[in-house]
Amino acid sequence: MLKQLSLVLLTLQNALLILVMRYTRTRKGDMYFATTAVVLSEGLKVLTSLMILAVQEGTFTKLMCYLRDNIWRQPLDCLKVSVPAFIYTLQNNLLYIALSNLDAATFQVSYQLKILTTALFSVLMLKKKLSPQQWSSLVILFVGVALVQFRPEDSKSSKTATTDQRPSVGLFAVILSCFMSGFAGVYFEKILKGTKQSLWLRNVQLGSMSVIIGLITMEIKDGPKIQERGFFFGYDYVVWIVIVFQSLGGLLVAVVVNKKVSPVSRPVVCGHEPNLVAHSSALKQEWQACS
């Protein structure tokens, strides 16, 4: 039951995250720095995982001893998660770039390429065996989702499109993100299956490394601007919703992986997200037309 619930929640989380993130990247007003949002979402994931570990350990003293024995005294073990942490951090930044240059429906359709990349990396890294029928189903699913969402751009949509968007940049960011998502997801699953460490401990390790990498990325990309305008420049409650959704997504993925859901099944289930995104986008357009 928990496995199915986790998959449903993951699908809804992905669809809502894309819609809200797209809104925050295209609305008028001060634009927040995406790199700061990535750092905060990873930090929130670490904090949540620490709270769960604290409940499991019972006392703060036991928690600190547990972290000391499994993190500080095992630095090489922590290095294992540095690879997916680095990839996930870059991927999260790429998602902001993609949604700044593509509408939500187009992004979600393009993002279904992660179904094929996940299957490919599962075969290469986990030695999964997929039948020809399964490969055909994956290809048909990708093509079908793309065709269902395909529609020629009308004059109205082209008028409402922002002139500073670069679809080619957005498409490149999506494709690169798909390959990163497939590799990092399968790599992290391989780590979880090859160790007896707690899922939430792995989340603390992964999130902590991601925060460090995110801070470095933030300094390189937006350091001078953040010093001038401030870390929370452009923030409001909608941006915080994006951060919470993004953090929740990382936790849900970890739960789904821990429940031994097939790495191919996860993106296949999330393949229904474009329908949610497209319907929500259509309702938004109708609402704007009536106002």
Q: How much is the average pLDDT of 202-228?
A: 94
CA distances from residue 66 to 53, 60, 74, 81, 211 in whole angstroms, order as listed: 9, 10, 11, 18, 21
184, 195, 198, 199: which is closest to 267 by C-alpha?
A: 184
Q: What percent of the chain has pLDDT over 70?
A: 80
Q: What is the pLDDT of residues 180-195, one digit of tens each?
A: 989 988 898 888 777 7
Q: How far apart are CA 132 and CA 129, in angstroms?
A: 10
Q: Which of 31-45, 62-76, 101-115 has the lowest mean pLDDT?
A: 101-115
What is the pLDDT, as a whole number, of residue 153?
Answer: 52
Per the model's pLDDT, the better-predicted residue between 115 and 62 turns out to be 62
Q: What are the residue ranges spanned by the domains of the chain?
A: 2-290
Winning range, highest mean pLDDT, from 74-78, 177-181, 187-191, 251-255: 177-181
Q: How much is the average pLDDT of 15-42?
A: 93
Per the model's pLDDT, the better-predicted residue between 235 and 115 turns out to be 235
3-state secondary structure of 103: coil
Q: Report residue 3's pLDDT band, with 50, 70 and 90 as the boundaries.
A: low
**Contact of 23 with 225, CB cutoff 8 Å:** no
**Contact of 165 with 22, CB cutoff 8 Å:** no
Q: Report residue 288's pLDDT band, with 50, 70 and 90 as the boundaries.
A: very low
What is the pLDDT, as a whole number, of residue 289?
Answer: 41
Residue 161 has pLDDT above 80, yes or no: no
Per the model's pLDDT, the better-predicted residue between 288 and 148 turns out to be 148
Residue 220 has pLDDT above 50, yes or no: yes
Q: What percent of the chain has pLDDT over 90?
A: 38
Per the model's pLDDT, the better-predicted residue between 120 and 256 turns out to be 120
Q: What is the pLDDT of residues 119-153, one digit of tens each?
A: 889 889 888 888 888 888 888 877 766 675 565 55
What is the pLDDT, as a whole number, of residue 145?
Answer: 61
